[in-house]
Structure formats: structure tokens, C-alpha cells
Chains A and B, each alone.
Chain A
Amino acid sequence: ETAVFQTPNYHVTQVGNEVSFNCKQTLGHDTMYWYKQDSKKLLKIMFSYNNKQLIVNETVPRRFSPQSSDKAHLNLRIKSVEPEDSAVYLCASSSRDFNQDTQYFGPGTRLLVL
């Protein structure tokens, strides 16, 4: 049963546009995450957000920014997309520090930048 929801499922846009992806979890978890999965299926953490504390993977370009209204929502905004941003973006949540509990993933948002 899905408990981490992501919209849209799929988005096509052009270089330079701004996009925003939504993520909501109904598990009552404290921590949410965004991952990028490339064409080789390799997953890389982008952000972690817990109790208003944001942790950023230093390799993430500055055009990416997470936005949270409450602990159940963590959206991802890309200010000016570039071709290499084409990927699947996965949102996840966990109930405690991620290394103490498993993470639950959403279905992902596939981004194609033309």
C-alpha cells in the first residue's frame, strides 16, 4: 500500500525552465529525503529534512532546492533545468534517523529535459 505519494509521475520540459515536484507521506514519519536515480539506476541522496533541519549533499547543484510546509511534505524545486537533470527523482521518508529505521519510497517522478 502506497504511503509516500509523488506528483507528477512524469514531466517533460525544456532547458532553462523551472519545475517543482511534490511529495507527501502519510506515515507520520519525521524525516524525508529526495534521491536522484540516473539512467544506470544508481541512486544518490540529494537532501534530508528532519524537524526543520535540512542536510544537503554537497554535490547537488544550487539550482535544486527542497521546500517543506510541514513534516509530511517535502517538495523539490529545480530553478533552471539542464539536460543532465533528466532522471527519476524519488522521495522517501523514515520514522527516525535513517540509519535506525528503514526508508519508504514513493513511486518517483521521471523528468525529461529536452
Chain B
Amino acid sequence: GQQVQQSPASLVLQEGENAELQCNFSTSLNSMQWFYQRPGGSLVSLFYNPSGTKHSGRLTSTTVIKERRSSLHISSSQTTDSGTYLCAASSGSWQLIFGSGTQLTVMP
């Protein structure tokens, strides 16, 4: 089965609303990372967050290893936040396993 599961698959918000994206991963994985991909664009690293909480502007990432989950919180969403958000985890070896992504659309 899939080792990294993201939810929701898609999310539509009105500008100004908050978003909460979830990532669950299997026991063999750790070292969670979050990426953002604009439509037709390259991946941009948001957070490398193996555990705990990290902040960057309107973004907050929280990883709870013992519960095998990580979340990405976007506060006061803007239309420019629209795109695909991907989480990924590794097994301590060389492979980075990606989730299937959350497609976020922020309406004006």
C-alpha cells in the first residue's frame, strides 16, 4: 500500500480562509518534507521538518513522529497560494517517497 497518504486530495477556499493539509506516513518512514508546485511549475521546498513545529510566514508545519503524521497550515490564504502541495518522507535510505498531493484552489 501507499506509504505516504495526503488529505484532502483537493481543497477550495475563499481568499482569507485558513487551510489545513494532512500527511500520514508508515512506520518505516521519517524525515518529512513539504513542497509546493505551481501549475506547470517546479517544486519549491517549503519545510524540512522531521519533528516538531516550524514556521515560515503564513505557513506552519507540525510533525508528530509517534503519531506518524505531519500537517501544513496555511493562514489567511491568498489566490497566489493556489497549486499543489506535496509531502514526502524518507526511510533513512536514499529514497524520498511522495504523497499524491493536495490540489489547493483559493478563490478571490
Contact = CB atoms under 8 A, between A and B. Distances in A.
Contact of B95 (A2, A45, A106, A108): A45
A75 interface: no
Contacts of A45: 94-97
Interface stretch (A11-19, A63-71, A77-85, A96-104): A96-104
A103 B42 contact: no
A54 to B, nearest CB: 10
Nearest to A100: B31
Given A43-B86, A99-B90, A105 B33 contact: no
Interface in B10-55: 30-31, 33, 35, 37, 41-45, 47-48
Nearest to B88: A43
Interface residues of A, number: 26
Contacts of A55: 94
A105 B44 contact: yes
Contacts of A41: 37, 84, 86, 100-101
Contacts of B42: 2, 4, 90, 105-108
Contact of B48 (A48, A102, A105, A107): A102
Interface string B88-107: 10101111111011000000
Contacts, number: 56
Interface in A25-60: 33, 40-45, 48, 55, 57
B94 A98 contact: yes
Nearest to B86: A43
A99 B30 contact: yes
A103 B98 contact: no
A103 B45 contact: yes
A92 B94 CA distance: 13
A104 B100 CA distance: 19
Interface of B: 30-31, 33, 35, 37, 41-45, 47-48, 84, 86, 88, 90, 92-98, 100-101
Interface of A: 2, 4, 33, 40-45, 48, 55, 57, 90, 92, 97-108
